Chain A
Amino acid sequence: AIQMTQSPSSLSASVGDRVTITCRASQGIRNDLGWYQQKPGKAPKLLIYAASTLQSGVPSRFRGSGSGTDFTLTISSLQPEDFATYYCLQDYNYPFTFGPGTKVDIK
């Protein structure tokens, strides 16, 4: 199975900060990667699919990039509602696999 890693595992940031989260696949996955946001006690929410396509209704401050093995989620200006845990998911081949998550909390 393809292994996914994320860095950092957690970060502290302030409102208005630019935040970057990295996801790396153990083998090439083209652009078959999604990003999900999860808040405590809630179901995950799809932010980005196909590595860089913004899901409908998701604010444009979220941006995804990358292909092959290295991917990035960038939040251009962190808002209070963005404090959450972020996961990448490869859907290149079965079994799909999530990264371990990156927790973004308030500095």
Chain B
Amino acid sequence: QVHLVQSGAEVKKPGASVKVSCKASGYTFPSFGISWVRQAPGQGLEWMGWVAPYNANTNYAQNLQGRVTMTTDTSTNTAYMELGSLRSDDTAVYYCARWDSSGSDYWGQGTLVTVSS
């Protein structure tokens, strides 16, 4: 069965970077994209971007351009989301999800990133 397992919670200072991993299993990793979605405390869902493991193509939300990088390692079936120049309003739960034209059908458990001085 399909599983996406994310790395653990992080606490970062403003201005630092964070890298969240998402290890996939149970399917052919290059055949599906990986999308990243975040949710600030008490807020709605925010689509951050998408990466295609088979060719490393990416698309990012406009408000994160220049600060976010999404990559994959097909040798370990792992996707990564790195966010730099962290601010307090980046405090959120970050989710990865398998993506294809039908939508995001499998999700990771979420990773809490707290940005605090």
The answer on A and B forming one complex is yes
Given contacts A95-B61, A101-B44, A46 and B108 within 8 Å (CB-CB):
no
Partner of A101, one of B45, B59, B102, B110: B45
A20 to B105 CA separation, bound complex (whole angstroms): 23
Instruction: Please report whether the interface of chain B is mostly helix, strand, loop or mixed according to DSSP.
Output: strand
From 83 to 111 in chain B, residues with beta carbon under 8 angstroms from any chain A beta carbon are 95, 97, 101-105, 107-110
Given contacts A1-B62, A55-B105, A95 and B37 within 8 Å (CB-CB):
no
A86 to B76 CA separation, bound complex (whole angstroms): 34
Partner of A43, one of B102, B103, B109: B109
Chain B interface size, as a band, is 20 to 34
* B 30-54 binary contact with A (CB < 8 Å = 1; else 0): 0000010100000011110110000
Say whether B44 contacts A98, CB under 8 Å: yes
Chain A interface size, as a band, is 20 to 34
Partner of A95, one of B44, B59, B95, B108: B59
Question: Which A residues are in CB contact (< 8 Å) with B95?
Answer: 43-44
Say whether A34 contacts B47, CB under 8 Å: no
* Chain B CB within 8 A of A50 CB: yes
Say whether A36 contacts B47, CB under 8 Å: no
Given contacts A1-B62, A50-B102, A43 and B47 within 8 Å (CB-CB):
no
Whole-angstrom distance from the CB of B111 to the nearest CB of chain A? 11
Say whether B45 contacts A38, CB under 8 Å: yes
- The 10 nearest A-B residue pairs measured at CB: A43-B107, A49-B103, A94-B59, A34-B103, A101-B44, A96-B47, A49-B102, A95-B61, A98-B45, A46-B103
Q: List 22 A-B contacts (CB under 8 A).
A: A34-B104, A36-B45, A36-B103, A43-B95, A43-B109, A44-B45, A46-B103, A49-B103, A87-B44, A87-B45, A89-B103, A91-B101, A91-B103, A95-B49, A95-B60, A96-B35, A96-B47, A98-B45, A98-B46, A99-B44, A100-B44, A101-B45
Instruction: Give me the interface of B with A, judged by CB distance under 8 Å.
Output: 35, 37, 44-47, 49-50, 59-62, 95, 97, 101-105, 107-110
